[in-house]
Structure 1
Amino acid sequence: MRTCLLLITLFLCFSCGNKSSKKEDAGAEPGTYVNPLFSEGTDPSAVFHDGTYYYTHGTEDKIMLWATSDITDMEHATCKVVWKPEDPSMASHLWAPEIHRIDNKWYIYYAADDGNTDNHQLYVLENTSPDPMQGEFKLKGSIMTNPEWNWGIQATTFEHRGEHYLLWSGWPKRRSNAETQCIYIARMKNPWTLDTPRVMISKPEYEWERQWVNPDGSRTAYPIYVNEGPQYFHSKDNKKIIIYYAASGSWTPYYCLGMLTADADSDLLDPSSWTKHPTPVFRQVPENEVYGPGGISFIPSPDGTEWYMLYHARKVTNGDTGSPETRSIRLQKIGWDAEGMPDLGTPVALDVPLPKPSGTPVK
């Protein structure tokens, strides 16, 4: 038994610690941090609850959860593997896990398949413990997004005026010789069940949303037009609902963020309520060696006076089609423009010292 516990401990330490960035090598000054937070990773997500950030990102065959009071110091965060599926029908390609606290319970949304990415579906885990690092995450179920049981990835949820909604990326119909990923929304009956049919609120239509060939000519086996990774946010006065999403192929430097907006008083299930910004709002900056930024999520500073975005990006132009995974996890402060809309700024280069979020505990 002791040997078993030792092996489990060693496994957890290796699994949770081997991808974090080495901050001591970067030479950040006191009160500052440098990116990346993790040297490898995709689709970061975190919530801030009772003084602690609970963080996760995609790791393909399991779901890991980190806990820390300092989001910029993930090397020293507590980490735990909270889910590793045994059912082969849902044991592969665990993408974009997100943790949420709903009705005093913890939920993790993620996508998984049977080894064939064409079979990706959405799943929900539930943990009733007050501390998500304690208790047990149990499979609550899969989310049927439409009667045909069609493909879905990168789910997120939000509450607006007493109603819970689910956002995700899905296909209008089963892929044949091409693939089109769209953004869908539905109202929820409970954290694992939809209460309304899905409604498409965005599809890849602009040229900047439809890039799938790399500058060197490498490409996927067939055209893939992408709207994915939706994330809820809001204007400073909460009068506008904002959905950010990633567009174009994640394996290309053209991967970027688009934006949808709707009036807070509008019917969020009416496609006409949503307006798409005609240009990207966050994109590659070659002079900073930042390519393909996406996978965005938002967190407050510990004292609640600032907002930050977590995202992934790569330092080279090409991605998954011809080279190893090179995306890393970054954190960057956002601002507000004159109309009170979020100003995401531009991606900052790696290893540039940045002030820690306001209220971060001094160690």
Structure 2
Amino acid sequence: MDMSGYINNPIVEQRADPWVYRHTDEYYYFTASVPEYDRIELRRAKVLQDLDAVDPVVVWRKHETGPLSANIWAPELHYIDGKWYIYFAAAHTSETKEGLFDHRMYVLENVSANPLEGKWEEKGQVRTKWESFALDATTFEHKSKRYYVWAQKALDIVGNSNLYISEMSNPWTLCGEQAMISTPEYPWEVIGFKVNEGAAVLKRNGKIFISYSASATDHNYCMGLLTADEDANLLDPASWVKSEQPVFQTNELTGQYGPGHNSFTVSPDGKQDIIVYHARNYKEIVGDPLYDPNRHARAQILHWNSDGTPNFGIPLADDKNILSILKR
């Protein structure tokens, strides 16, 4: 049997916060947090199943000291106006700062046709209206405007991070209003930590959907969903409706724990949406979950309900041929 169109999970081991982007050159580009949190890697393959087999290319390493010197988290690769950009978070270390939960958001730019080649230029910090813990940025275009969605700690709200949205004047600069569109409020969003983070955007069926992750990064980690009409004012918090229950969460029957921090991609023919996410295959963790390396990247088909809303289903068990639709 030709297995080139099938995929077994996990697609890449020990890679958390996975980001997959399928470009016009028909390659799937992959990046994620590495267990050492010290660098940014890129890899590419024509089919998702091959991503684990190809050698990653290190495109950037953390600085020795200062604002970009620790805990390099959740890189995302975007292609904007003919250039490549990587959005990521990094913490500050010094003799007096350990760098945990002191993140800010940064951008790299590459003008090469292939982002695994050429030079990555540091464009600097994406500055918001105030300085505080900030991470997990993503960006999308809608009706000729570019938007930025990120997680940040508010100075006047108890909790670890909320979700915000802003327009951008260029791929590394925010402009105009910065609106909070979600804060941890439901019981499933506040286990261990009060967290909304890891936003991913999907535009379908006249709607804009933003998935996000909540709670601590152990088996309580799960995903929620925000929905807005495509004609709504996206900077108005009232335009966004939040799911009252998690849309994707731990499933003990399939052995998947703490699924979250996802991205969306498509099948080679563009007919099927695919969710890429990380999860562990065990529940009990020794020590801090942040330093357990076994959040593996996984993928499965995203289905759709009759009303045009996404149906995430459950995180499927490992070693299942789940994407037979990916035959090329």
**Same fold flag (TM > 0.5):** yes
- Cross-structure match for 1:330: 298
Higher deviation after alignment, 265-274 or 68-77: 68-77
| Aligned mates of 1:331, 1:299 — CA distance in 2 | 10
Cα distance change, pair 260–200 in 1 and its aligned pair in 2 (3 A)? same
Aligned amino acid, residue 327 of structure 1:
R
Alignment match, 1:15: none
Cross-structure match for 2:203 = 234
State the AA in 2 paired with 1:163.
K
- The counterpart of 2:144, out of the listed 147, 156, 162, is 162
- Indicate if the aligned counterparts of 2:225 and 2:243 stay in contact, CA closer than 8 A: yes
Determine helix, strand or coil for the equivalent of 1:278.
coil
Which residue of structure 2 lines up, in the alignment, with residue 181 of structure 1? 161
SS at the partner of 1:72?
helix
Residue 106 (1) aligns with residue 84 (2): yes
> 1:304-315 alignment to 2 at 5 Å?
304-315=270-281
Amino acid at match of 1:168: W
| Equivalent residue number for residue 17 of structure 1 | none
How far off its partner does 1:359 sit? 4.2
CA distances 1:161-210 after superposition (whole Å, capped 9, x unpaired): 000011111001189xx742101111101000001242110000000111
**Deviation of the 1:135 alpha carbon:** 0.9
Within 5 Å, which residues of 2 pair with 1:25-40? 31-40=5-14
Give unmatched runs, 5+ long, in structure 2: 94-98
Does structure 1 retain, via aligned residues, the 8 Å contact 2:300–2:323?
no
Query: Separation in 2 of the partners of 1:174 and 1:61?
Result: 31
2: CA distance, partners of 1:30 / 1:154:
32
User: Would the alpha carbon gap of residues 304 and 30 (structure 1) be closer, same or farther in structure 2, given more than 3 Å must change?
Assistant: closer
Structure in which a larger fraction of residues adopt strand: 2
Deviations 1:21-47 (A, max 9, x none): xxxxxxx95642210112211100021
Separation in 2, partners of 1:188, 1:80: 29
CA contact (8 A) 2:30 2:51 kept: no
Q: How far off is 1:278 after superposition?
A: 0.6
Matched, 1:92 2:67: no
Q: Could you tell me which amino acid in structure 2 is paired with residue 245 of structure 1?
A: Y
Residue 46 of structure 1 aligns with which residue?
20
Larger Rg: 1
CA 1:285–1:306 in 2, change beyond 3 Å: closer, same or farther?
A: same
Matched residue pairs, number?
A: 317
1:358, distance to aligned residue in structure 2 (A): 2.7
Give how far 1:117 is off.
Answer: 2.1
Q: 1:128 aligns with which of 111, 128, 135?
A: 111
Aligned identity (percent) is 38
Cα distance change, pair 324–87 in 1 and its aligned pair in 2 (3 A): closer
Mapped partners of 2:6, 2:267: distance in 1 = 14
Q: Which residue of 1 aligns with 2:51?
A: 74
The whole-number CA distance in structure 2 between the counterparts of 1:81 and 1:137 is 11
In the other structure, the counterpart of 2:96 is none
| Amino acid of the structure 2 residue aligned with 1:108 | I
- Which SS does the other structure have where 2:18 is aligned? strand
Deviations 1:234-292 (A, max 9, x none): 23x2x1111110011112x1211101111111110011111111111111111111111
The secondary structure found in structure 2 opposite 1:225 is coil
Contact 1:151 1:174 in 2 (8 A): no
CA distance in 1, matches of 2:248, 2:101: 28
The alignment partner of 1:351 has SS state of coil
Give 1:87 deviation, angstroms. 5.1
Question: TM-score scaled by structure 2?
Answer: 0.92
| Higher RCO (Cα < 8 Å, 6 or more apart) | 2
TM-score when scaled to structure 1? 0.83
User: Contact (CA 8 Å) 1:72, 1:356: kept in 2 or not?
Assistant: no
1:91 alignment partner, SS class: strand
Judge which range, 317-326 or 197-206, deviates more: 317-326
The CA deviation string for residues 76-133 of structure 1, in whole angstroms up to 9 with x for no partner, is 3252100113352212111000000000000000000124123200000000111111
Aligned match for 2:173, one of 181, 193, 207: 193
Deviation per CA, 1:126-145, whole angstroms, max 9, x where unpaired? 00111111211110111111
Higher helix share: 1
The counterpart of 1:57, out of the listed 32, 36, 43, is 32
**Are the equivalent residues in 2 in contact too, given 1:305–1:358 (CA < 8 A)?**
no
